[in-house]
Structure 1
């Protein structure tokens, strides 16, 4: 019997020292996986960036080693680690072993940092706690200081020796601990991305990335934007921009609430319009705000407000036309904002969004003012922007109207029998037994209709040649009556996701009306072509039906062999030979199997419809993909591929040629 657990006063405990991070890394880093490991690296890098931005050292090097250890070196003033009389402790203990300790709390003293990436005093200590080991090498005040940590604990204390050279700075090498993080294999892409972003928002600072590719061998990539976000926005806009990049800057004192103290904020904006690309990037105190927060809200407010005001003033809207939305602006906007503040409210320690109301209000005011002035001073640019935003708006509304119409058309509840020409339903309402036979032409419809079991088997005829869905765009596909009728009959909608037609109709497997969708075509060239076209359509519009094994092909017999006693159906040459051997010495007749429309109902039932005697081939995802590939080769635009395929495989089909 399990021992009963008591819950009393002794049950309450607190984590101490390194365990505060090592046992709960996600609280500090947002995750105990690779994202958290990446953030721990950024915490060390951010301290070096703060130094460089204050004007102490203009180069930062970060090295990724083969064993996934990391080194960050700067040429700043060097981290203070000696004895601190005020705290009556050594600074290295405070900085590397004490959460909420650092030199960035007092924003009014003028002794430290005005705008800082690190504000909470968590980064250096928390990364040290989360490391397998950490080595620290600091040069400052004519001394060299070294420290060594293992699994969050200091080993050997502080070592201090005279240093005759004039250079200063900090070098920290460490290895993230697999006892803390589930994954420490940070890929080069992370370093390249984060260093490029930091170069963008820290104008003139050079970042060197050294990547160890073999023991002792390094590849170096350098990042530097002399004009910061202005150069980056121009890079994004390219040569074919709609309007040139504008740089706006502002600095003011703000407060987040009427009863709260004032603090400084500095806002830098680079903005342009393009009909080819759109990008929105927000940074605060150098940290990339992946989720935006206050800057994103400010941009939405200011740009919609000011562009809408311009459209109204210049009578750009048609009568009763609705107002633009941010989506219409966003689709042609390139904007990079780098803001700073002496007080920052992040959503959490991972710094992916800020929530300061004062910063948001200052941004709205600044963006509205600068846009208004820009439109007045640059009337031609204003006209281009207004026209492009209206094009985006009207295209969006047309696409939405098309989407809603198609959704109703393809998935709405309806009387299918009356709405789809020549479709013959079955009586059963049980989806688990209902079967849909897709056949070619009216003659096959008549034969299958007579041969089927009307309780659970329905028939849908394909009238004429079906569209090649591999090559056609969605607008053309959904104008095809054959295709829209078939989608109606299926009932589950379509899986369409593209930039121009975002989710045209919602696909729902629960609305599929059939347990089996069976392709029933003649065993001749035309029949094979129709089958491939149908497979290609299903592969593009409803791939889930194939993935979940709902699509089948009826295997039609090649030969009908009649003896005095029995009739045999041979589905290939080997079966034909086997039956003929069995009938040796008996009289028999042999003939090519007839087309679907020529068979007697009893014969059709036996070979095609009856679950006990028919042969069905389940279509697997690879089959549909291969069919799509072969259709592209044989009837698509790939002329070179077709020529190559025929040259390589043509001889395999010579026996099937009908040459007299």
Structure 2
């Protein structure tokens, strides 16, 4: 037997808690990322610390949480009971240590496994925890999970509570930055789910009086809502429902014990089922489920005793037991919706009439489209066009390989050269490529028929698998990869118009991105730097003394497949496409894509920025 195949005691290595977290961070915080996506690791670190503060609020201790993020230093201060001073070090550095194992103290808490703050500690190059209570305080400072210094308990006049400060470790989170938009959305969800709680972020206050009703109002323009939001609350449940005038697809936001379950779960499935059953019973008609739920905008929040999630990041509820006096999550939600939504519709006849008109309209549109859908599918099958457009990957969002499915990406490219470079340098397991032929159609103002009649739109919809529901989406990231010239920008705009018009929740749920590619390559014989801005180029030139060679990239086709793998691999840079909540989607599209050319021209002239393209000497 060779030395390579020996298996002895020497091969067995026991990792301590922090080594294991640092070696396998995905087990604790999901994917790493650089902050361009709302579910990237740096936001999970913040959430893990915040969850402890929220649990204090839920227990009636402390109504305000203060958060600051500056220069990637995160500070979170609550005014709860404060960690018992003798346990300040243990709570953030010893596994299976925490107050939530005592179910009397935390009956319906979020952070049940005692891992959260330990993971933050291990994955930060600076981590400090300070607790104040009963006129005393104690602090401890760590680096990468190792205790660096501690002081206390000492006499103190500070208000009781806990303060945690940390800086995510750049060795693990590469080129990261916190985007305030994602942080604010997370904090707003916390206040919607906890009326009476005030969160102060970088000096700005966030507070909610009406819970999930505020959430729907915040995320949607009032002009686009078909009827006033239905808002119902029970002991351990809260729901908010309306329908959109313009949106085609279904939209759900679901929460368990204050945790945003972005991937749904048993409670969201029960909620969807309960809405259909209740509405069928109310009208006494066996409407199609898809017609009832078409264009719905809704939110559901429940509180469960000891919930079981399908991953450490708690994005999907797996448990069926409600806990307490209720039998199952499904029964509880069905009973609540069946009683209270039915009552509401009986009392509010205008809403009931508007809802029924919407269902009948959806039914009519579905029947009108049925023939076109069949023709489009037959045409795609006969021509085998699907294979020509899409170079697929092996792992998709719905697959059970939990460790990699969130990485699944579809690049939408234009032109043979760019498509060829990405196709040759991609990871065939997780990265797919969809090739456009020239500029897509401007779909603004068109009906859903165009999605089936236009070859490219039909095939793109089929590639994404979102015709019936967002739940079937095959890729977590949809990345528009076009040149940064006028034509490339126009293609981006046309694609974003298509998604806004027919699948806006792809953007609302942070699935759509723009691929950032380098503007310059700076190199000498020993080192090469790819630079995404003039500032990065200047830094690279400083590092490479002498006269380095500088190349200015004008288009994706100029970048060889060997080089392209650097820009779509571990160091990929993505810019998220986000919605401006001050405008409805209809207003947004009519201004940028409609026929109001003079207004748009005036806007462009007033906001024009001129950048000089400096030609470098090699």
SS in 2 for 1:118: coil
- CA 638–474 in structure 1, closer or farther in 2 if over 3 Å, else same: closer
Does 2:326 align with 1:360? no
SS in 1 for 2:95: coil
Question: How does 1:1-150 map onto structure 2 within 5 Å?
Answer: 4-34=4-34, 35-66=40-71, 68-82=72-86, 91-107=87-103, 109=104, 112-150=105-143
Q: Report the TM-score when normalising by structure 2.
A: 0.59
Alpha-carbon shift at residue 289 of structure 1 (Å)? 0.8
Equivalent pairs counted in the alignment come to: 412
Q: Is the 8 A contact 1:245 1:271 kept in 2?
A: yes
Q: Is the 8 A contact 2:85 2:153 kept in 1?
A: no
For residue 208 of structure 1, what is the aligned residue in structure 2?
A: 200
Residues 469-496 of structure 1: per-residue CA shift (max 9 Å, x gap): 7699878998xxxxx9xx9xxxxx5444
Q: Is the 8 A contact 2:138 2:150 kept in 1?
A: no
For residue 304 of structure 1, what is the aligned residue in structure 2?
A: 276
Alpha-carbon shift at residue 295 of structure 1 (Å)? 2.1
Does 2:280 align with 1:324? no
- CA 115–185 in structure 1, closer or farther in 2 if over 3 Å, else same: same
- Partners of 1:334 and 1:470 in 2: CA distance: 26
- Pairwise CA RMSD of aligned residues? 4.0
Larger radius of gyration: 1
Gaps of 5+ in 1: 83-90, 211-219, 252-265, 318-322, 415-467, 479-483, 488-492, 506-535, 542-619, 623-635, 645-660
Q: Report the TM-score when normalising by structure 1.
A: 0.56
- Partners of 2:229 and 2:361 in 1: CA distance: 21
- CA 18–639 in structure 1, closer or farther in 2 if over 3 Å, else same: closer
- CA 470–117 in structure 1, closer or farther in 2 if over 3 Å, else same: closer
- Partners of 2:197 and 2:274 in 1: CA distance: 31
For residue 232 of structure 2, what is the aligned residue in structure 1?
A: 248
Q: Is the 8 A contact 2:271 2:300 kept in 1?
A: no
SS in 2 for 1:354: coil
- Partners of 1:30 and 1:476 in 2: CA distance: 36
For residue 293 of structure 1, what is the aligned residue in structure 2?
A: 265
Alpha-carbon shift at residue 407 of structure 1 (Å)? 4.1
SS in 2 for 1:243: coil
For residue 255 of structure 2, what is the aligned residue in structure 1?
A: 283
- Partners of 1:369 and 1:241 in 2: CA distance: 24
- Partners of 2:343 and 2:448 in 1: CA distance: 45
For residue 437 of structure 2, what is the aligned residue in structure 1?
A: none
- CA 471–293 in structure 1, closer or farther in 2 if over 3 Å, else same: closer
SS in 1 for 2:359: helix
- CA 114–475 in structure 1, closer or farther in 2 if over 3 Å, else same: closer
- Partners of 1:471 and 1:205 in 2: CA distance: 43
Q: Which has the higher contact order (CA 8 A, sep 6+)?
A: 2
Alpha-carbon shift at residue 118 of structure 1 (Å)? 1.1
- CA 117–5 in structure 1, closer or farther in 2 if over 3 Å, else same: same
Alpha-carbon shift at residue 281 of structure 1 (Å)? 1.1
- Partners of 1:332 and 1:476 in 2: CA distance: 13
Residues 435-477 of structure 1: per-residue CA shift (max 9 Å, x gap): xxxxxxxxxxxxxxxxxxxxxxxxxxxxxxxxx9769987899
Alpha-carbon shift at residue 363 of structure 1 (Å)? 1.2
Does 2:175 align with 1:175? no
- Partners of 1:272 and 1:76 in 2: CA distance: 36
For residue 393 of structure 1, what is the aligned residue in structure 2?
A: 363
Residues 94-153 of structure 1: per-residue CA shift (max 9 Å, x gap): 31111222111222x3xx223212111111112111110212222101101111112211
Gaps of 5+ in 2: 35-39, 321-327, 385-439, 468-489, 496-555, 559-593, 603-618
- CA 401–53 in structure 1, closer or farther in 2 if over 3 Å, else same: same
Alpha-carbon shift at residue 270 of structure 1 (Å)? 2.1
- CA 621–19 in structure 1, closer or farther in 2 if over 3 Å, else same: closer
Q: Is the 8 A contact 1:237 1:334 kept in 2?
A: no
- CA 413–103 in structure 1, closer or farther in 2 if over 3 Å, else same: closer
Alpha-carbon shift at residue 349 of structure 1 (Å)? 1.3
- Partners of 2:307 and 2:448 in 1: CA distance: 52
